[in-house]
Structure 1
Amino acid sequence: MPHQDAEAESSLTHYQRGKQLLRYFVDRCLRDQITVTAGHLAYVSLLSLVPLLVVTFTIFSAFPVFEGLRENIEQALFANLLPTSGEQLRSHLNQFVGNASKMTAVGIGFLFVVAVMLISAIDKTLNRIFRNHRKRRFTVSFAIYWMILTLGPVLIGTGLAATSYLISLSQYADAYVSGVRSTMLVIVPIVTSFAAFMLLYIMVPNRIVKIKYAAWGAGLAAILFELSKQGFSLYIKHFPTYQAIYGALATIPLLIVWIYLSWIVVLVGAELTISLEEFDHEQD
């Protein structure tokens, strides 16, 4: 009996602790007004979308090893930009990118500045959420933003190459064990999203973020991101309100809504990461 009472008390303690953590997490999200911040980031993202794609595809063209993967890279990028109507969005953005690539050196420099604005906005937002008020020196910030713009596409290309390789292997394995390919198509996107969110929550804040806290935040963000894609696709297929109202222009409001939802997911993961750290410190 004493052993059972101790187990019951322990489970009750864990339940109360989880309830307090949930309340703390929700209150923090409300205080930081993540819905308003997500709207700001969505606006900056729309402004920076074409310049960022111009810089990204220019860097891709500088690496012949990624030339054969460009089609897969574009498909992955546009699939995450908008879960549906990807082909229509892809044709429009490719036209914009083609027009922008014909600009002069001054124009390309302006596009680079606009792309840096997006990275700077993400940097400032996450540091504000993590309650970090120490500002980096301008030279350090510029070096980091330049590294993200140059190495980011290379890392994306490498990650997509590995993903394509794993999925191609699962296609052969599916002949021997049924369901392997479909399982990989579900697991691999979540794993890659988890890795991307982990890097975001650890590398961007100008402070030390423990991996165990970032892992919980990245896990929540990755799951919410995949669920959001599925839910958004189902909504558009079964409730085509935007198509009826906007017609051929329906892709534009859909893109705005999806980018807004994506930023909410990113900020929720960041809030959970720092909430876990602060809650543990308060309990000690």
Structure 2
Amino acid sequence: MEGGGSMLARIYADIRWFLGQIGEQFVENGLLNSAAALTYTTLFAVVPLMTVGYVILSVLPAFSGVSEQIQNFVFDNFVPESSALIQDTLNDFASQARGLTLAGVAFLIITAFLMLVTMEQAFNRIWQVTQPRRGLPRFLVYWGVLTCGPPLLAAGLLISSYLISLPLVSDIDAFGLRETLLGFVPVLFSVAGFTILYYAMPNCHVPFRHALVGGVLTMLLFEGAKWVFAEVVSNSSMALIYGTFAAVPLFLTWIYLVWALILASAIFVRTLALERGETESDGEPLLVKAARVLNLLYQAHMRGEAVTDAQITKVVNLTREERRVVFGVLEQMNLLSHTDQKEHALGRNLKSVTLWDLYQRLPGGLEPDLIVTTDDLGRLCVPLKDFVDFGADHLSKSLDELFAGPAGDPA
């Protein structure tokens, strides 16, 4: 019984820690403000996104005439009731936008890209990524979101229409199950869309299983929020106050709620990858932790390899705040770069970089009692202890000299 009690206590402690981390990160990252910013940019990007969708589908003969079906599908399944006015208005805007000049179309595409930039910034903040995508990789991700979404949605609708026409599905309809089965189509789209969002948008490696769990969680929250929102709206006096304009504040409120749920689930996905040690500092100086990270990058560089987040976590005990500070300093000094595979690599030669250079840029000091924990770095211990005892001259050795040879190998 005592073993079972201790297990329950550990489970309770883990759940409490996990939920505490989610709440703490939600406040630290200011996600309500991020949701508001995304709501604002979404409002301006809805028409451009619809226009881009129209244009893409119009050049694909197989999807001719599917645009209206997609509209009805989205508004029926992903937006609460009372959205007919918003749908008609957006449709009018998008129809007019199709007659714009080349400069006008470019402006609409830029507006849609700005929404994706804001989204990427919010996700990178959650995953503590200080270096966003640049150049071609960023363009390809954004363009993929804009160009692949409408055809995939259209393909899903065509598949649904095809399934309805099958004799087997017609037989199922005799038992009243067809509508139930087809009702899972928007659910699957939601899970797939949210999973891709969590997996691809942050500029770092996200385990696919974590993204999938986040996609399922977001879908459940999304469906629950849609039902609650529809119930609240149907029992509110909003229509009496705003009249025909009631759809506008309701639509904005719904977009804000959706973004808040998406960002909260993103924190959930991020927390799945955290270890408890990543939130509890061991007191080791930041200079030592930065040296550990650089040593890991240096040894991998000598083997012609890159380093994953998991490898860094295994060797260096960094809290979220310590990781933000250390990675930020290393990136400012061009000592840390990121590959297209979302791994980490050494940014430049370490022969011209000394411990003193790192010490000047990192906050905190050097406690003599804590330097004993650096035995795995071998040659680093001596100059650190000499620095504490005798002064800055003993930090003049280059990092390349300190890490070279078996003494610096973390393995």
* TM-score, L = length of structure 2: 0.63
| Counterpart-to-counterpart distance in 2, 1:161 and 1:111 | 28
Instruction: Please report how far the alpha carbon of residue 185 of structure 1 lies from its aligned counterpart in structure 2 after TM superposition.
Output: 5.2
| Counterpart-to-counterpart distance in 2, 1:88 and 1:151 | 27
Give the equivalent residue in structure 1 for 2:243.
247
- What CA deviation, in whole Å up to 9, does each residue of 1:13-63 have, x standing for no partner? 212211111111111111112111100000000011111111111111111
| Counterpart-to-counterpart distance in 1, 2:113 and 2:94 | 17
Q: How many residues align?
A: 278
1:79 aligns to 2:76 (yes or no): yes
- SS where residue 147 of structure 2 aligns? helix
CA 1:182–1:9 in structure 2 vs 1: closer, same or farther (change >3 Å)? farther
Instruction: Please list, as runs of the form range in 1=range in 2, the aligned pairs for 1:1-284 lying within 5 A after superposition.
Output: 4-79=1-76, 82-165=79-162, 172-176=171-175, 178=176, 180-181=177-178, 183-184=180-181, 186-239=183-236, 241-279=237-275, 282=278
CA 1:203–1:272 in structure 2 vs 1: closer, same or farther (change >3 Å)? same
Q: Which has the larger helix fraction?
A: 1
Q: Aligned-pair RMSD on alpha carbons?
A: 2.2
CA 1:260–1:98 in structure 2 vs 1: closer, same or farther (change >3 Å)? same
CA 1:147–1:192 in structure 2 vs 1: closer, same or farther (change >3 Å)? closer
Give, as a single letter, the amino acid of the residue that structure 2 aligns with 1:33.
G
CA 1:80–1:122 in structure 2 vs 1: closer, same or farther (change >3 Å)? farther
Instruction: Please report how far the alpha carbon of residue 168 of structure 1 lies from its aligned counterpart in structure 2 after TM superposition.
Output: 6.8
Q: Is the CA contact 1:217–1:273 (under 8 Å) kept in the aligned structure 2?
A: yes
CA 1:279–1:186 in structure 2 vs 1: closer, same or farther (change >3 Å)? farther
Gaps in structure 2 of 5+ consecutive residues: 280-313, 315-411
| Counterpart-to-counterpart distance in 1, 2:222 and 2:158 | 21
Instruction: Please report how far the alpha carbon of residue 187 of structure 1 lies from its aligned counterpart in structure 2 after TM superposition.
Output: 3.7
| Counterpart-to-counterpart distance in 1, 2:170 and 2:224 | 24
| Counterpart-to-counterpart distance in 2, 1:136 and 1:235 | 40
Give, as a single letter, the amino acid of the residue that structure 1 aligns with 2:239.
Q
Q: Is the CA contact 1:81–1:255 (under 8 Å) kept in the aligned structure 2?
A: no
Instruction: Please report how far the alpha carbon of residue 148 of structure 1 lies from its aligned counterpart in structure 2 after TM superposition.
Output: 1.9
Q: Is the CA contact 2:77–2:186 (under 8 Å) kept in the aligned structure 1?
A: no
| Counterpart-to-counterpart distance in 1, 2:181 and 2:31 | 33
Q: Is the CA contact 2:39–2:252 (under 8 Å) kept in the aligned structure 1?
A: yes
Q: Which structure has more RCO (C-alpha within 8 Å, separation ≥ 6)? A: 1
Q: Is the CA contact 1:217–1:270 (under 8 Å) kept in the aligned structure 2?
A: yes
- What CA deviation, in whole Å up to 9, does each residue of 1:186-241 have, x standing for no partner? 543333211111100001111110122222222221111111111111111122x2
CA 1:69–1:22 in structure 2 vs 1: closer, same or farther (change >3 Å)? same
Q: Is the CA contact 2:48–2:109 (under 8 Å) kept in the aligned structure 1?
A: yes
CA 1:187–1:5 in structure 2 vs 1: closer, same or farther (change >3 Å)? farther
Instruction: Please report how far the alpha carbon of residue 81 of structure 1 lies from its aligned counterpart in structure 2 after TM superposition.
Output: 6.0
Q: Is the CA contact 1:202–1:214 (under 8 Å) kept in the aligned structure 2?
A: yes
- What CA deviation, in whole Å up to 9, does each residue of 1:119-169 have, x standing for no partner? 111112111111111222223212222222112222222233345555776
Select between 8-17 and 195-204 the one with higher mean Cα deviation: 8-17
- SS where residue 66 of structure 2 aligns? helix
Gaps in structure 1 of 5+ consecutive residues: none
Q: Is the CA contact 2:160–2:182 (under 8 Å) kept in the aligned structure 1?
A: no
